[in-house]
Amino acid sequence: QKEVEQDPGPLSVPEGAIVSLNCTYSNSAFQYFMWYRQYSRKGPELLMYTYSSGNKEDGRFTAQVDKSSKYISLFIRDSQPSDSATYLCAMGDKGAQKLVFGQGTRLTINP
């Protein structure tokens, strides 16, 4: 079993829809949770960064962490065609030198 599991999709939704992307993990020591966005043929870029449990909102994006269920989510409201990309979750524990990434979910927003 992988330490971090993410449904690779692909996921295709109409413009304006609410998108939900999810990851599960098995390492209870993880405290730092991130979402990276990767456009086609580009390197990943950090989108959201949360510490421990709870919600964090940034514009149309909301990141949720439920440590009791070992489950994290990224919600995109009023999705736009420019949100079409691969979204990778990543996580790490305090003092760790490295992150563990999910497989990535390929998302397409149709105009």
Partner 1 sequence: NAGVTQTPKFQVLKTGQSMTLQCAQDMNHNSMYWYRQDPGMGLRLIYYSASEGTTDKGEVPNGYNVSRLNKREFSLRLESAAPSQTSVYFCASIEAGGPGEQFFGPGTRLTVL
Q: Which of 18, 26, 45, 54 binds partner 1 (CB under 8 A)?
A: 45
Q: Which of 14, 43, 59, 111 binds partner 1 (CB under 8 A)?
A: 43
d(CA 31, CA 44): 21
The DSSP code for 31 is: E
d(CA 5, CA 51): 19
Residue 93 binds partner 1, judged by CB under 8 A: yes
d(CA 3, CA 99): 11
CA of residue 63 relative to chain centroid, distance: 8
Q: Which of 60, 62, 92, 108 binds partner 1 (CB under 8 A)?
A: 92
In the numeric block, which tokens belong to residue 5?
A: 């599991």
- Binding span for partner 1 by CB under 8 A among 12-20, 58-66, 72-80, 90-98: 90-98
Residue 46 binds partner 1, judged by CB under 8 A: yes
Q: Which of 79, 104, 107, 109 binds partner 1 (CB under 8 A)?
A: 104
